Amino acid sequence: MLRAGWGLVWRRQRVLWGVYSVSLVLALFAIQPLVATLQPVLDHSLAADRLYHSFDLATFADLLSRPEFARGAVTRGPVLFGVIFLALMLLFTGGILKVYIEDRSLATGEFLGAGGEYFWRFFRLLMFLLIALAPVRLIHLGFRAWSDGLANRWAQPASSVSVRVGGTLAVLFLLMAVRLWFDMAEVLAVAEEEYAMRRSMVGGLRLTWNNFGALFRIYLLPSLLVWIGSALAFWAWVRLVPHQAVAASLVLSQGVIFLWILTRLWQRSSEVVWYQQRAPETLLQPSPLPETPIEAFLRPEVPPAEVSL
């Protein structure tokens, strides 16, 4: 499944480059206020050497403590453009899934048209996702309170740290499971041209619940790849990249971002492939969805008019 998903990403790599480009361009825009603040301070100052030929944290903190940085120069841009990126990803996701489901390149207008078609549906799914994350947050707080309680009772940190680490892993697992559920809801929505997002959610939940092992593997393995890749890149950056090698830092850091986007799309494409290959048979197993004809899942290639006959 992952191999087929990888093939899909590779064949439709315009999607990958497109998302990466948008991410890079928006990030470049986002940091312009910061750059405009840095340039007059650093470009003509010999003190900047302590940031260029090494990375002196005190000098960096000294820089950030200047009044120019107190007005949100560092954070305003990224937050604003982060919201724009989020909106664009809401817009693109429908198109991306359509590309993967149909395994064909879409013209720009077609791609954006598909995205626009699903924009508000996926926005509703985003709202549902936030609601679904609330219990995860509560569980996280519960683990933290448990860990703090143990830390308060015992001087030996092992027990509280174990609970904290175990809790973090459990929450991470839950986050992945919830994301997987909503991924499948999105696949279902596009594949079945579903309008009712609640139905997509229920269908996604059923798919995920009944096939958790296979689906989780699809989600986990690319995630592991990105974590290991990021750690290796960090190690290489610390050990191998000289302080003043800005170009090397750029290549390495952009490689990491590219890897993040690549693996996310790999998860998406693998989920699509899985859905197309396995979902119809798994959907037969549980009780039928109340408002969605099973035949629609069984014969997606058949025009709806014929199904109704």
Partner 1 sequence: MMRHRMSVVFALSILVVFNTSGASARRNTPPKVAILHHAASDATSVASATGCKALSVRVVSYGIDARLDADKKAIEATETLTYHNLTGQPLQTFPFHLYLNAFQPQSTFMSEVRQSGTRGTGSEAGWDPKHYGAIEVQSLAADGVGDLTPQMQFIQPDDHNPDDHTVFQVTLPKPVPPNADITFRMTFHDQLPEVVERTGYKRDFFMVAQWFPKVGVWWHGAWNCHQFHATTEFFADFGVFDVKVTVPRNYVLGAAGDEIGSDDNPDGTRTVTYHAEDTHDFSWTASPEFTDVEDSWTGTAGPVKIHLLMSPGHLGLKGRYLQSLKGTLDYFDRWYGAYPYDRITVVDPPRGALNAGGMEYPTLITGGAAWWEPPGLRLTEVVTEHEFGHQYWYGMVATNEFEEAWLDEGINSYVEVKIMAALYGQGRSLIDLWGATADDEGEQRLSYLSTPDADPLTRFAFQFMSSAAYGDTTYGKTAAVLLTLEGIIGEETLRNALHTYFERTKFTHPTGTDFLKAVGDASGQDLSWYFNQAVSGTNVLDYEVLGIRSDRADWYRKNPPPGKKGQTLYRDTVLVHRKGDFLFPTETDIRFDDGETVREKWDGRDRWVRYTYLKRAKVISAEVDPDHKVRLDRDFFNNSQTAVAHPGATRKLEVYAVFVTQLFFQLLAWLV
Sole binder of partner 1 in the list 18, 56, 220, 221 (CB under 8 A)? 56
Residues 32-51 that bind partner 1 (CB under 8 A): 34-35, 38-39, 41-49, 51
Nearer to partner 1 (CB atom), residue 50 or residue 278: 50
Sole binder of partner 1 in the list 2, 6, 7, 59 (CB under 8 A)? 59
Of the candidates 304, 265, 233, 218, the one whose C-alpha atom is nearest the C-alpha of residue 95 is 265
CB neighbour burial string for 18-36, b if at least 16 within 10 angstroms, e if fewer: bbbebbeebbeebbebbee
- Binding status of residue 61 toward partner 1 by CB under 8 A: yes
- Looking up tokens 């149909």, which residue turns up? 102
Nearer to partner 1 (CB atom), residue 144 or residue 278: 144
Token pair recorded at residue 17: 């480059």
Shortest distance in whole angstroms from residue 48 CB to partner 1: 4
User: Three-state DSSP class for 154?
Assistant: coil
- Binding status of residue 31 toward partner 1 by CB under 8 A: yes
Sole binder of partner 1 in the list 85, 219, 275, 297 (CB under 8 A)? 85
Residues 153-212 that bind partner 1 (CB under 8 A): 153-158, 160-161, 179
- Binding status of residue 54 toward partner 1 by CB under 8 A: yes
> What are the two backbone dihedrals, phi and then psi, of residue 171, each rounded to the nearest 5 degrees?
-65, -40
- Binding status of residue 131 toward partner 1 by CB under 8 A: no
* Alpha-carbon gap, residue 6 to 4, rounded angstroms: 5
- Binding status of residue 250 toward partner 1 by CB under 8 A: yes
Residues 93-122 that bind partner 1 (CB under 8 A): 93, 122
Neighbours of 145 (CB within 10 A): 12
Report the sign of the C-alpha dihedral through residues 21, 22, 23, 26, in that order.
positive
Residues 8-27 that bind partner 1 (CB under 8 A): 23-24, 26-27
Shortest distance in whole angstroms from residue 81 CB to partner 1: 7
Token pair recorded at residue 93: 């996701």
Residues 134-153 that bind partner 1 (CB under 8 A): 151-153
Shortest distance in whole angstroms from residue 243 CB to partner 1: 7
- Binding status of residue 80 toward partner 1 by CB under 8 A: no
CB neighbour burial string for 194-228, b if at least 16 within 10 angstroms, e if fewer: beebebbbbbbbbbbeebeeebeebbeebbeebee
Shortest distance in whole angstroms from residue 19 CB to partner 1: 9
